Structures are given as C-alpha cells and as structure tokens.
C-alpha cells in the first residue's frame, strides 16, 4: 500500500483570537516545503502548547487523511485548506478503516508506526468557530491518528508513504474508535485491542482499567 504525503505541517504555540476569546495552541500549523528532520519526538520546528495531552513518543506525528477534507467541506459548505485539522502530515489515500494499529510505514528517510486514533477536542471547534465539529469528527470516525518514530530522518511534502510491515492482529484505527465511542465496555473488543503491542501506552492503561472494573 503506497500513499502520498500532500502536505507537511509544523507550528509552535501561539495565542490567537477565537469567537470565544483567546486560545493558546499550536493547532494552526503551516505547510512547509523542502526536507524537514523528523526526530523521535517531533518534526523540527514543531511543538505542543499542552504537553500533558499532546506530544511524546506515542504522539510524535499527527496524520490526517486528505480524503476527509472533502466530506467536511460538503457538510459545512466551506473550504478547508491543509492543515485545517492541525495535523503534521496530510496523506492521500490512507484512512482509519484500512490502517492497523502497529502498521509500519517508510516515509522519506524515516519510518513510523501507528499507535492510536487522535481524539477530537474543543480546539478544532474554537479554531474554526464550529461548535459541533468535535462531535461530528467523533461520529464519523474521521479522527486521523498518531505515529511513533521508529527511524529518524528527513521527510518532505511529495514523499511516498509506503507500508513496510502490516501488524498481524488486524486491529484498525476504526476498531479502536468504535470501542472508545460506541462500545466502551465490550470486553472482547478491548481484549483484542490490548493484544497489539504497539498500542499507545496511555490508552492501553485506560482500557486495562475498564477491564478491571
């Protein structure tokens, strides 16, 4: 499975005005051209404002599927330019339904591994002035997902993203979203997810607590 990196995006925390007041965030990233170094924690020039909930080894890169842009443009009757979802990489062809937790991809000189879905939060609503945006993202499952860095290296827009190792458990990003938002207490589904070694540690602990209740 080969995909294409359409946009590479980085940003640092800034304070900007929204319809509900000031907001400090690194959500408003900017597309960059040319090679950018991807380290274990992030792309060079990229940071997080809320380091408690964002960033870290399991959330080094945020990926958003380019195909979802078309859906939200139709729903809201407006255009969204890359990276309107605050993602580091906007990728054509990939999605949550066909990507497994634990899948490994090469992209430029780097290698990355899928760890968890992205959780839609209030920042997307505040940034775009659309109150129901997080709920709609959650309902559709068009969340995007996070990657850990297996191998550091330079990456740039236009690079191919090539699946090099398919996780054998077959637990997709969509499967995890389904448990999180639709079947939070389905023990069999939770146990299946927990079999995936690559699953993000923080989310693993959360699901383990569900099993123990």
How far apart (Å, rounded) are the C-alpha atoms in residues 164 and 158? 18
Summarised one tens digit per residue, pLDDT across range 36-61 is 999 999 999 998 766 666 679 999 99
**Mean pLDDT in residue range 55-77:** 96
Task: Return the percentage of the chain with pLDDT > 90, whole number.
Answer: 84
pTM (global) more than 0.75: yes
Of 112, 110, 94, residue with least CA distance to 102 = 112
pLDDT at 4: 98
CATH architecture of structural domain 2-169 = Beta Barrel (2.40)
DSSP secondary structure of 31-92? EE-S-EEE-SS-BTT---S-TTTS-SGGGSEEEEETHHHHHHHHHHTS---TTTT--SEEEE
Summarised one tens digit per residue, pLDDT across range 96-123 is 999 999 999 999 999 999 999 999 989 9
With a cut of 80, say whether residue 131 has pLDDT above it. Answer: yes
Summarised one tens digit per residue, pLDDT across range 88-98 is 999 999 999 99
pLDDT at 51: 62
Average pLDDT of every residue of the chain? 94
Task: Return the percentage of the chain with pLDDT > 70, whole number.
Answer: 97
Of 106, 88, 198, 116, residue with least CA distance to 153 = 106
With a cut of 90, say whether residue 14 has pLDDT above it. Answer: no
pLDDT at 49: 60
pLDDT at 53: 61
Instruction: Label residue 19 by pLDDT band (50, 70, 90).
Output: confident
């Amino acid at each position: 499975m080969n995909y294409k990196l359409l946009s590479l995006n980085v940003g640092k925390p800034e304070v900007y005005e929204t319809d509900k007041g000031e907001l400090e965030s690194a959500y408003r990233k900017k597309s960059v051209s040319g090679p950018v170094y991807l380290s274990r924690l992030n792309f060079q020039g990229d940071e997080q404002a809320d380091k408690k909930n964002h960033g870290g080894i399991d959330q080094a890169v945020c990926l958003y599927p380019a195909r979802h842009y078309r859906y939200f443009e139709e729903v809201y009757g407006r255009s969204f330019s890359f990276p309107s979802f605050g993602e580091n990489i906007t990728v054509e062809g990939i999605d949550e339904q066909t990507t497994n937790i634990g899948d490994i991809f090469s992209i430029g000189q780097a290698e990355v591994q899928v760890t968890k879905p992205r959780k839609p939060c209030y920042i997307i609503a505040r940034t775009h002035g659309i109150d129901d945006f997080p709920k709609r993202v959650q309902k559709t499952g068009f969340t995007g997902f996070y990657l850990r860095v297996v191998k550091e290296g330079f990456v740039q827009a236009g690079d191919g993203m090539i699946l090099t190792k398919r996780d054998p458990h077959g637990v997709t990003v969509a499967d995890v979203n389904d448990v999180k938002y639709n079947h939070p207490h389905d023990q069999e589904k939770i146990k299946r997810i927990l079999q995936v070694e690559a699953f993000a540690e923080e989310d693993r602990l959360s699901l383990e607590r569900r099993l123990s209740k």
